[in-house]
A and B are shown apart, each in its own frame.
Chain A
């Protein structure tokens, strides 16, 4: 077993820990007085958390030169999708009793639901095109362009979170700030690039 493989196992197991604890607590009736809300909230926060971790890979790679990090990005992104899926399932089953008309009504009546739905459905094509075969089929450039949708999903995710809280904006604010830093870095480094290219051309 080489190191990359081991690290993947490490990340895989650790990313499952919150789900394991959630299931464990549910089994022993330890989710507090409102287990439905708790489950929906927890899976939602985990989705945003994994989105942010995924989006942190590129800045960390560029800034510190930790190029190996990119090998773990797909798994992190898929975990974001996985927790987002659980979030949607928990909401559909417990809050809406799996009634499609009730869900449709909700999307219409509660704008934050619409925002959340949109964010999730942006992640679907990204999860589908996450395999090596799909990257090849799309071509690296197209694939990278498509996967920029992650930015939109993360922004919508933070807005979705912000819209549901009453006044305790601490976590939405924290997530929003981190996201701003991660996306800000991308804008910053995109503007820096031309200079760097010139510099490397000179040394050639």
Chain B
């Protein structure tokens, strides 16, 4: 092999040092800017900014019954609609709003049946004909955060009265829509779907228990459980099942999704109780969304006066 002599490169062809350094600096500046942008892009991809605000139609003729108005600062519409647990769409609370953007909620029917005199199928328009009341309730999530929400809705009792429960009916089971075309799989959600919940009949007909059709005077945004959801303000939020398609009256305690997923952690009753810790964290305090320090959690989420008689004689540590 012939080794070429190095002096074969003409001196005129050697880039002079200044140009060489400029070129080098240019590449470096490019690398710095490029990688910084790429890193920022990856961060933004994993943590996208909140989506544009949802606009739903106003609900007409809302009444404001004075007994159901928590005298507390309301959480903003933006907070309520951008921080949601709705595992059918995403397990990330801040991603649900975007993922649920195109969720189809019309036409919508709810079948009500089981141990009743008259099984009935309601269309969502029927439900909006009931007197629409504004109910300002505290909402406490089992994860340790809470909000104050101005729901629009009507007592669940009105629907149950319409189907005339039989004497044998003791429990009410609820089921959320599950549509694999619009929602993620049970596997990605980490829980069995469709989502199911249940109440004892006396809990279901309690005046505090409502079916919500809206919030802040407008129809429910998709991410909050459109078009109709349950709200049981003295229980942890996961009991307030969203986007309901089925209500079934039975004589037995009904299976509930989170209880199936982790029976030691989530009971059938799941009443808000600062004295019964979740196995992995204390429930004594909560983070009110919008505040920067934690506040104490109240028994039955502050509704003890209205509901504690439902549980007289029951060991609430056992029936958590």
The interface residues of chain A lying within 8 Å CB-to-CB of B47 are: 42
Q: Which of A21, A97, A111 contacts B44 (CB 8 A)?
A: A21
Asked if A33 contacts B191 (CB within 8 A), the reply is no
Interface with A: B101-109, B148-156, B174-182, B287-295, which one?
Answer: B287-295
Known contacts A34-B83, A109-B282, A167-B87: does B36 contact A13 (CB below 8 Å)? yes
Known contacts A21-B43, A167-B191: does B32 contact A9 (CB below 8 Å)? yes
Asked if B292 contacts A33 (CB within 8 A), the reply is no
Q: Which of A6, A10, A14, A111 contacts B280 (CB 8 A)?
A: A111
Consensus secondary structure, chain B interface: loop
Min C-beta distance of B186 to chain A, whole Å: 10
In the bound complex, what is the Cα–Cα distance between A33 and B78 (angstroms)? 8
The interface residues of chain A lying within 8 Å CB-to-CB of B261 are: 167
Does A36 lie at the interface of the complex (its beta carbon under 8 Å from any beta carbon of B)? Answer: yes
Asked if A38 contacts B94 (CB within 8 A), the reply is yes
Does B255 lie at the interface of the complex (its beta carbon under 8 Å from any beta carbon of A)? Answer: no
Asked if A13 contacts B189 (CB within 8 A), the reply is no
Asked if A167 contacts B190 (CB within 8 A), the reply is yes
Asked if A37 contacts B82 (CB within 8 A), the reply is no
Asked if B83 contacts A168 (CB within 8 A), the reply is no
Known contacts A10-B32, A42-B47, A167-B190: does B281 contact A33 (CB below 8 Å)? no
Min C-beta distance of B255 to chain A, whole Å: 16
Asked if A94 contacts B94 (CB within 8 A), the reply is no
In the bound complex, what is the Cα–Cα distance between A72 and B28 (angstroms)? 18
Does A169 lie at the interface of the complex (its beta carbon under 8 Å from any beta carbon of B)? Answer: yes
Q: Which of B36, B49, B190, B281 contacts A30 (CB 8 A)?
A: B49
Interface residues of B in 266-320 (CB under 8 A from A): 277, 280-282, 287, 289-290, 292-294
The interface residues of chain B lying within 8 Å CB-to-CB of A10 are: 31-32, 35
Asked if B289 contacts A34 (CB within 8 A), the reply is yes
In the bound complex, what is the Cα–Cα distance between A31 and B262 (angstroms)? 30
The interface residues of chain B lying within 8 Å CB-to-CB of A21 are: 40, 43-44
Does B91 lie at the interface of the complex (its beta carbon under 8 Å from any beta carbon of A)? Answer: yes
The interface residues of chain A lying within 8 Å CB-to-CB of B293 are: 94, 97
Known contacts A21-B43, A112-B280, A167-B190: does B32 contact A13 (CB below 8 Å)? yes
Interface residues of A in 174-188 (CB under 8 A from B): none
Does B92 lie at the interface of the complex (its beta carbon under 8 Å from any beta carbon of A)? Answer: yes
Asked if B143 contacts A17 (CB within 8 A), the reply is no
Asked if B292 contacts A94 (CB within 8 A), the reply is yes
Asked if B39 contacts A110 (CB within 8 A), the reply is no
Does B216 lie at the interface of the complex (its beta carbon under 8 Å from any beta carbon of A)? Answer: no
Interface string of A65-90 (1 = CB under 8 A from B): 00000000000000000000000000
In the bound complex, what is the Cα–Cα distance between A13 and B320 (angstroms)? 50
Interface residues of A in 4-59 (CB under 8 A from B): 6, 9-10, 13-14, 17-18, 21, 25, 30, 32-34, 36-38, 42
The interface residues of chain A lying within 8 Å CB-to-CB of B188 are: 170
Question: Which residue of chain A has the shortest Cβ distance to B49 in the bound complex?
Answer: A30
In the bound complex, what is the Cα–Cα distance between A182 and B143 (angstroms)? 33
Min C-beta distance of A100 to chain B, whole Å: 15
Interface string of A92-106 (1 = CB under 8 A from B): 001101000000001
Asked if B50 contacts A32 (CB within 8 A), the reply is yes
Asked if B189 contacts A167 (CB within 8 A), the reply is yes
Does A118 lie at the interface of the complex (its beta carbon under 8 Å from any beta carbon of B)? Answer: no
Give me 12 A-to-B residue pairs in the complex whose CB atoms sit less than 8 angstroms apart, sorted by A's number. A9-B32, A10-B31, A14-B35, A21-B40, A33-B82, A34-B287, A109-B282, A166-B143, A166-B190, A168-B87, A168-B92, A168-B189
Supplied contacts A33-B290, A34-B289, A167-B87, 12 more A-B pairs, CB within 8 Å: A6-B28, A13-B32, A14-B35, A14-B39, A17-B39, A25-B49, A30-B50, A33-B75, A33-B82, A33-B94, A110-B280, A112-B280
